[in-house]
Structure 1
Amino acid sequence: MGNKGSQFAGVTVALVTPFKDGAVDEAMLRKLVDWHVEVGTDCISPCGTTGESPTLSHDEHERVIAIVCEQAAGRVKVIAGTGSNSTAEAVRLTERAKADGADAALMVAPYYNKPTQEGFYQHFRTVADTVDFPIVLYNIPGRTSKNMEPETICRLAELEQVVAIKESTGSIDQASAILADCDLTLLSGDDSMTLPLMSIGGSGVVSVAANIVPREVKALVSSFAEGNAAQAKQMHCKLFPLCRDMLSLSTNPIPVKTAMRLLGHEVGDVRLPLVPLTEVEIATLKRTLGSFGVMG
C-alpha cells in the first residue's frame, strides 16, 4: 500500500448526477450524499465520467461539487472531479473545488487532444504548482485515447500534491509497474478489477457499483484489507455479474442510472448523446439485480 494518499483508501463512489426536468436535481443529490454517509462509503467523487461531467455546464459542474461538499459537511471525504483537456480549465475547476471544501481532486488525463507523455506531465505539474491541493490521477485510455505510461505516473508521484491514482487500464502489468516504482495509493477504476488490484497492493476502488450496492462493495474491500481473502473472493464472485452489466450492457452511466431507478432512487435519465437502455437490456439488468437479491 502506498504511503501517499492512504487517507483515500477504501471505497469511493463515482457518484451519478441526478436530473429532473432537464436540470440537476439538487434535493436528490443531497439525499444521495446522506445515504452514502449512512451506509459507510469512505469517499464521494462527484463530476466524474459516471457523473456525466461531459454534459454538465461549467456552472452545473461547480454547483454539483459545492452541494456535495456542503452536504457531506466533513462526514465523508469528497474527491471532486476537476479534470479537463484544457489545463487552464483544470486549474480553475481545482481551485474552485478546494474553495468549496473538497478533500482532493480527481483529475482525468487530458482526453481527445492526445498529449505526449511530457504533455501529461506538464499538465498535472501546472495544476500542482498552481493549486496546493491533493491530486488523484485518473488514467483511462479507453476514454481518453492515450495511455499515461507508468514512467510518467511515477514521475508525477514525485510531486507532493499527487497522492493517488485511479487505475482504469485493466492491465495488471501497468498497475504492478506503478506499485513497484512509486508510493502512490492505487485505486481500481473498474469494479471487477478491485480484488485483483488489491491482491498486488491496491488500496480500494472508485466504484460505479457502489451507487447501487455500497455495503457489498465495502464488504469486499474491507474483507481483503483485514486479511480475509476467502471472504473477499466470495464477494467478488457475487458482485461480478452486476459489475459486468454496469459496463457491458451499455455505456457507463446508462446501466447504473437505470438500476438506481429500478431500485427506487429517482435519479432521472442520462443526457444526450447518451440514450436509455432498450427493453431487452432492461430485462437483462432486472434479471441480474434479481439474482443479486436486491430486486424481487
Structure 2
Amino acid sequence: MFKGSYVALITPMNLDGSIDVEGLDKLVDFHINNGTDGIVAVGTTGESATVTLTEHVRIVEQVVKFSNGRVPVIAGNGANATAHAIELTQALNGTGVDGMLGVTPYYNKPSPKGLIAHYKAVASHTDIPQILYNVPGRTGVDMQPETIAELSTFKNIVAIKEATGDLSRLHKLKDLCDDSFGLLSGDDATACEFILSGGDGAISVVNNIAPSLYKKMCDSAFNGDKEHAYAFDNELSLLHSSLFVEANPIPVKWAAFELGLIKNNTIRLPLTELSSANYGLVKEAMEKAQLEVK
C-alpha cells in the first residue's frame, strides 16, 4: 500500500515559533517536483512532541491541501498515552490523510501485551490504514517481530516503519508477516540494503534535503540494480551520519535552511539550533551529495 521514497517532513516555523504555512506549501512542492513518493507530516522529524493538538491537525490539513492528491500523505498519530493517541487519531480522521504512523509509546516501556493492546485500541478508532513505528533509540521500547506479526493481522494495521537498522529484523518480519504487510525502513544508513533485501521503501530524514538523489537510490534498489543503488547511497552516506550528529531534526533543519528550503532555522525547545562545531561536518556531507548551499 505504501511503497517508495517517503520523506519524514520537517515543520517550517516562523521566527516566533509559529507554523510557517507558506513554507510548508513550498516544501510540499519541492518534494513532489523532485520525485518523492509520499509525505509523512508531523512525525518525530516534524517536531510532533512540541506542537499542540490544534497545530498538529492544522499542519496535516495543510500538507493534504498542498499535495492535492499528487502523493499519499501520512500523519503522525503516536503518543505515550493511549488515550492521547486515540484523541489525536480521532482529530485526524477528517483531514483526508491516506495513512497514520504511530510510534511505540515512549518512556513508558510497555510490554508486548501492552503494545498490542495500545495499537489495537488506537486502530479501532479509525478506518484509515495504520503504520507501526519501531524506533527504540528514541522511545526506550523495542517492538519485537513476533509482536509486529500479531498486530499485522489487525484489520487496518498495514505496515511497519522499522528503524532499528538491524537488517535481520527485515528477514524475520518477511517470514512472520503476510506479503501484503508493508515493510518500510526508518534508518537512512541501512535503507538501501533494506530495499535490496525485499523492503517496500523508506521513510527518510535525509530525503528532506536530497529527495532526487534519494529517489534514485530507492528506485535502483527496487530494480535490483545494486551497482547504481550503492553508488547513489555512497553519495548520501555522509548525510546518513551527519544529520544525526545531534538530535533529529536539529541538523536537518539547519541544512534545509542553508539550502534555502526554509526561511528560518527555527526549532522548538527543548531542542536548540545546531552547534557551530558541527557546521563543517554537515556542510561536507551536503557537498558530497552535490547539494548547493545558498
Category of TM-score, reference length = shorter chain: over 0.9
Counterpart of 2:189 in structure 1 is 192
The CA deviation at 1:39 is: 1.5
Shift of residue 280, structure 1, vs aligned partner: 1.9
Aligned to 2:37: 42
Kindly indicate whether residue 250 of structure 2 is the aligned counterpart of residue 257 of structure 1.
Answer: no
What's the counterpart of residue 232 of structure 2?
A: 235
Q: Partner of 2:99 in structure 1? A: 104
Deviates more, 1:255-264 or 1:177-186: 177-186
- How far 1:267 moved relative to its partner? 4.5
> Contact 2:235 / 2:288 at 8 angstroms: preserved in 1?
no
Match of 1:181 among 176, 179, 183: 176
Instruction: Assess if the C-alpha contact under 8 Å between 2:238 and 2:288 holds in 1.
Output: no
Structure-2 separation of matches of 1:291 and 1:81: 31
Among 3, 26, 29, the alignment partner of 1:9 is: 3
Consecutive unaligned residues of structure 1, counting only runs of 5 or more, are: 1-6
**1:18 equivalenced with 2:12 (yes/no):** yes
Structure with greater proportional helix content: 1
Corresponding residue for residue 276 of structure 2: 279
CA distance in 1, matches of 2:53, 2:80: 14
- Give the secondary-structure state (helix, strand or coil) at the position aligned to 2:66: helix
Q: Is the 8 A contact 1:28 1:267 kept in 2?
A: no
Letter in 1 for 2:3: A
SS in 2 for 1:100: coil
CA drift of 1:227 comes to 2.4
In the alignment, the residues of structure 1 paired with residue 229 and residue 243 of structure 2 have an alpha-carbon distance, to the nearest angstrom, of 20
Secondary structure of 1:136's counterpart equals strand
User: Is the 1:98–1:104 Cα contact (8 Å) retained in structure 2?
Assistant: no
TM-score by length of 1: 0.94
Out of 44, 63, 67, the position equivalent to 2:62 is 67
Q: Secondary structure at the match of 1:53?
A: coil
| 2:206 alignment partner in structure 1 | 209
Output the amino acid matched with 1:50: T
Match of 1:153 in 2: 148
SS where residue 94 of structure 2 aligns? helix
Deviations 1:34-67 (A, max 9, x none): 2212112111001111001111111111111111
**Is the 2:167–2:194 contact (alpha carbons within 8 Å) kept by the matching residues of 1?**
yes
Residues 188 and 206, structure 1, Cα contact 8 Å, conserved in 2: yes
Deviation at 1:77, TM superposition (A): 0.5
Between Structure 1 and Structure 2, how many residues are aligned?
Answer: 289
Between stretches 268-277 and 249-258, larger displacement belongs to: 268-277
Q: Distance in 1 between matches of 2:61 and 2:82?
A: 21
**CA shift at 1:172, angstroms?**
1.6
Structure 1 runs (4+) deviating above 4 angstroms are none
The alpha-carbon deviation at position 70 of structure 1 amounts to 1.3
Deviations 1:62-90 (Å, cap 9, x if unpaired)? Answer: 11111111111111100100111111221
Q: Confirm whether residue 221 of structure 1 aligns to residue 218 of structure 2.
A: yes
Please, what is the CA RMSD of the aligned residues?
A: 1.2
Moved more, 281-290 or 211-220: 281-290
Partner of 2:122: 127
Percent of pairs with identical residues: 41
Report the TM-score, using the length of structure 2 for normalisation. Answer: 0.95
Check conservation: 1:260, 1:267, Cα contact below 8 A: no
* Matching residue of 1:81: 76
